[in-house]
Amino acid sequence: MTSTGDEMYALVERLYPLCRSITGDGVRATLEIVGEYVPLQVHEVPTGTQVLDWTVPQEWNIRDAYIADPAGNRVVDFAASSLHVLGYSVPVSATMPLAELRGHLHTLPDHPSWVPYRTSYYKPEWGFCLAQETLDAMPDGEYEVCVDSTLADGHLTYAEHVVPGQVADEVIVSCHVCHPSLANDNLAGIAVATYLARALAERTPYYTYRFLFAPGTIGAITWLARNAERVDRVKHGLVLACAGDPGSLTYKQSRRGDAEIDRVMRHVLAASERPHRVAEFTPYGYDERQFCSPGFNLGVGSLTRTPYAGYPEYHTSADNLDFVSPQAMADTLAVCREAFAVLDRNRRYLNLSPYGEPQLGRRGLYDALGGRSDTKQAQMAMLWVLNLSDGEHSLLDVAERSGLPFDTVAAAAGALHGAGLIKA
């Protein structure tokens, strides 16, 4: 996974300089780059389109923005960092005293060298984000203020990538593409989702996997509105975010709490012996709250490392390329792959010889285990699978009840199925 981690980090590096928002050319440029790694179907939804209780907003694009001091020096410059402008700022060109300008400035006094990330999506406003130490060094006087932006009718852009499976039932994997230069939130999630899609495409998975690259909140709501009639195909789902920081993994359960994805993630994380935390669902966070809204109530959880707002660097310029690592992203990807490998093989079986224990020796099943380092475990797995193959218990049920590794249980089921002792 080392080389894959390096490749994901390189993708984050490419995406980092782009100015993204919930709409606009920055989103399109991001999807164009992701499209070099996996083929994407890009959707453009016009401004004014009703999507559930929301309306697709006007499209925002920005070319330049700055604050120049009385001597003409740019003390705040959008060209240096896309975080310097309040997201969705309306255009402005003016000269004003510092006292008046202060009402449009956002800083982090507790972290004077960091620049905050702030937005004003649904209220016409303009502003700048800067380091407190920069503001402290600004003398009184007249400042030139420029935001060269447009806010006009256009489109909301999102994209999908589908990995076809053996069945039409779907697993949704979602990540948000609306944040500007924030490496962990959201670029690491985009990178992990992209490489997860590539990994799944190397085989034919059981489920069909639909990857959604969309702006946060309004993007997921738009997708749900446009797919309401087919959303019953979604059997499981995972929202990826904050996937590259040095913290341990956190899985936030779906609203149901007992959805299959919840059980799979709990099992995989526990079995891996990785430091981790399992959190209860709350209606705040990333787009799991849209998929888990009561009208849809889908089995969609969220996987992060340190959760949103759980680290000081969250939504600041300190969430930069130094804050994420190839190793952390590779670890997040590995857990996703492990979880989906379990999900894809988690079947219910029916014992075709349920009266008494069938004779395994004469069917060559014990001989097939010869030389395995876990022969005793494998034998026990066969007995457990036979005993719980009543059409009601899944292989994950067997693994949890027996305490045996899921892979061992799945291998035992495969051997028993091949011998004609169980059927799916």
pLDDT tens for residues 290-306? Answer: 999 999 999 999 999 99
Q: Which backbone phi and psi does 142 adopt, to 5 degrees?
A: -90, 130
The pLDDT, as a whole number, for residue 392 is 96
Q: What does the pLDDT read at residue 361?
A: 83
Band (376; pLDDT cuts 50, 70, 90) = confident
Phi, psi of 60 (to 5 degrees): -115, 130
> For residue 99, what are its two tokens?
């006292």
Q: What is d(CA 19, CA 179) in angstroms, rounded to the nearest whole number?
A: 8
Non-local CB neighbours of 337 within 8 Å, separated by 6+ positions:
196, 199
Which residue intervals of the chain bear CATH 3.40.630.10?
2-56+155-345
Mean pLDDT, rounded, of the chain: 96
| 315 has binding-site annotation | yes
Q: Structure tokens of 340?
A: 């989906």
- List where CATH 3.50.30.90 sits in the chain: 59-152
Predicted local distance difference test score (pLDDT) of residue 369:
57
Architecture of domain 348-423: Orthogonal Bundle (1.10)
- For the chain, give every residue range classified as CATH 1.10.10.10: 348-423
Q: Assess contact for 346 and 413: CB atoms under 8 A.
A: no
CA distance 47 to 382: 58
Strands of the sheet with 92-97, listed across from one edge = 74-77, 59-68, 142-152, 92-97
Distance from C-alpha of 84 to C-alpha of 334, rounded to nearest angstrom: 35
Q: What is the pLDDT of residue 373?
A: 62
In the chain, pLDDT over 70 holds for what percent of residues? 98
pLDDT digits (tens, 9 = 90+) for 83-113: 999 999 999 999 999 999 999 999 999 999 9
Helices 406-418 & 326-345 angle (0-180, nearest 10): 30
One-letter amino acid identity for 351?
N
In this prediction the pTM is 0.95
Yes or no: is domain 59-152 CATH 3.10.350.10?
A: no
Can you tell me the distance from the alpha carbon of 171 to that of 210, in angstroms, rounded to the nearest whole number?
6
Pairing mode, strands 170-176 and 155-163: unpaired
Nearest CA to 74 out of 65, 82, 83 is that of 65
pLDDT band at 55 (very low <50, low <70, confident <90, very high): very high
73: Cβ contacts below 8 Å, ≥ 6 apart: none
* Cα radius of gyration rounded to whole Å, the chain: 25
Half-sphere exposure (Cβ direction) of 188: Cα atoms closer than 13 Å: 30
- Residue 43, marked binder: no
Percent of the chain with pLDDT over 90: 94
**3-state DSSP helix/strand/coil percent for the chain, to nearest 5?**
35, 25, 40
Q: Is the pLDDT of residue 374 over 80?
A: no
- Beta-carbon contacts of residue 176 (< 8 Å; ≥ 6 apart): 186, 189, 214, 215, 216, 219, 241, 286, 287
End-to-end CA distance of the chain: 33
Contact 211, 201 (CB under 8 A): no
Least confident piece of the model among 170-184, 228-242, 373-387: 373-387
Fold of 2-56+155-345: Aminopeptidase (3.40.630)
- Binned at pLDDT 50, 70 and 90, residue 66 comes out as very high
Q: What is the pLDDT of residues 110-130, one digit of tens each?
A: 999 999 999 999 999 999 999
